[in-house]
Chains A and B, each alone.
Chain A
Amino acid sequence: MKILLVDDHAVVLDGVRRLLQTSLETEILQATSGEQAIELVATEKPDLILLDLNLGGMGGLEVIQRIKKCDHPPRIVILSMHTEPAYISQALKSGADGYVSKAADAEEVVAAVEAVLAGNRYIEADLRDKLGPAGDGDPLDKLTARELEILRLLGRGESLNAIADVLGIAYKTVANTCTQMKHKLGLERTADLIRIALGGDTIGRK
Chain B
Amino acid sequence: MSFIHHLPLQLRLIATVAAALVITTTFSVVPIYWHAKSKVATEMQAALAVGEQVAKNEIQSGESSRDLSRRLELMVAHFNGDRHLKAKLVTADGGTVASSHLAAPDNTAPSWFQRFLNATPLTSTLVLKEPLEPLHAVVIEADPTNEVGEAWEDLSTFAGLLSLFCLLVLGSVSWIVTRAMTPIQSLLTGYSEIGAGNLKVRVTPSGSAELERLCHGFNEMGGELERMAARNTRLTQQLEDVQDEERADLARDLHDEVSPLLFAADVDAAMISKLAKQGGHNNIQDQTHAIRSALKQLKKTVTLILGRLRPAVLLDQGLSPAIANLVSTNQQRHPDVTFSSEIVDFNAPVSTLSVIFFVVREAVANALRHGNPSKISIHIQLPSTDSIRLCVEDDGGGLDDKGLKPGFGVHGMDERIKRLNGTLTIQPSSSGRGVILEAIIPNPSTHDVHPDGNISQFSKKSATKTQRRESTA
Q: Which residues of A contact B (CB under 8 A)?
A: 7, 9, 11-12, 14-16, 18-19, 22, 54, 81, 102-103, 105-107, 109, 155-157, 159, 191, 194-195, 198-200
Is B248 at the interface (CB under 8 A from chain A)? Answer: yes
Could you tell me the dominant secondary structure of chain A's interface residues? helix
Q: Check B248 against A155 for contact (C-beta < 8 Å).
A: yes
B contact residues around A15 at 8 Å (CB): 263-265, 267-268, 290, 294
B contact residues around A11 at 8 Å (CB): 260-261, 264, 290, 293-294, 297
CB-defined A-B contacts under 8 Å, sample of 5 = A9-B260, A22-B283, A54-B255, A159-B369, A194-B248
Q: Check B267 against A22 for contact (C-beta < 8 Å).
A: no
How distant is A101 from chain B, measured CB to nearest CB, in Å? Answer: 9
Can you add 9 more A-B contacts, CB < 8 Å, to A11-B264, A155-B248? A9-B261, A11-B297, A15-B263, A16-B267, A102-B259, A106-B266, A159-B370, A194-B244, A198-B252
Residues of B in contact, count (CB < 8 Å)? 34
Q: With A102-B263, A191-B241 given, is the CB distance from A198 to B270 under 8 Å?
A: no
Q: Check B271 against A12 for contact (C-beta < 8 Å).
A: no
A22 to B268, CA, bound (A): 11
Q: With A12-B260, A102-B260 given, is the CB distance from A109 to B267 under 8 Å?
A: yes
Contact of B264 among A14, A155, A159 (CB under 8 A): A14
A contact residues around B275 at 8 Å (CB): 22
Is B256 at the interface (CB under 8 A from chain A)? Answer: yes
B contact residues around A103 at 8 Å (CB): 263
Contact with A along B228-253 (1 / 0, CB 8 A): 00000000000011001101110110
A contact residues around B244 at 8 Å (CB): 191, 194-195
How distant is A3 from chain B, measured CB to nearest CB, in Å? Answer: 15
Please name the 5 residue pairs, one residue from A and one from B, whose CB atoms are nearest each other, closest first.
A106-B270, A15-B264, A102-B263, A15-B267, A9-B260
Is B80 at the interface (CB under 8 A from chain A)? Answer: no
A54 to B245, CA, bound (A): 19
Is B10 at the interface (CB under 8 A from chain A)? Answer: no
- Residue of B whose beta carbon sits closest to that of A105: B270
Q: Check B270 against A107 for contact (C-beta < 8 Å).
A: yes
A76 to B426, CA, bound (A): 51
A contact residues around B283 at 8 Å (CB): 22
Is B336 at the interface (CB under 8 A from chain A)? Answer: no
Q: Check B252 against A7 for contact (C-beta < 8 Å).
A: no
- Residue of A whose beta carbon sits closest to that of B257: A9
A11 to B290, CA, bound (A): 8
Is B63 at the interface (CB under 8 A from chain A)? Answer: no
Q: Check A7 against B260 for contact (C-beta < 8 Å).
A: yes
B contact residues around A14 at 8 Å (CB): 264, 290
Q: Check B259 against A81 for contact (C-beta < 8 Å).
A: yes
A12 to B294, CA, bound (A): 9
- Residue of A whose beta carbon sits closest to that of B333: A157
Is B429 at the interface (CB under 8 A from chain A)? Answer: no
Q: With A7-B260, A157-B248, A157-B249 given, is the CB distance from A18 to B270 under 8 Å?
A: no
Residue of B259, B263, B290 contacting most chain A CB atoms (<10 Å): B263
A contact residues around B240 at 8 Å (CB): 191
Q: Check B252 against A155 for contact (C-beta < 8 Å).
A: yes
Contact of A198 among B247, B264, B294 (CB under 8 A): B247
A contact residues around B267 at 8 Å (CB): 15-16, 18-19, 106, 109
How distant is A66 from chain B, measured CB to nearest CB, in Å? Answer: 22
A81 to B258, CA, bound (A): 11
Contact with A along B66-90 (1 / 0, CB 8 A): 0000000000000000000000000
- Residue of B whose beta carbon sits closest to that of A109: B267
Is B43 at the interface (CB under 8 A from chain A)? Answer: no
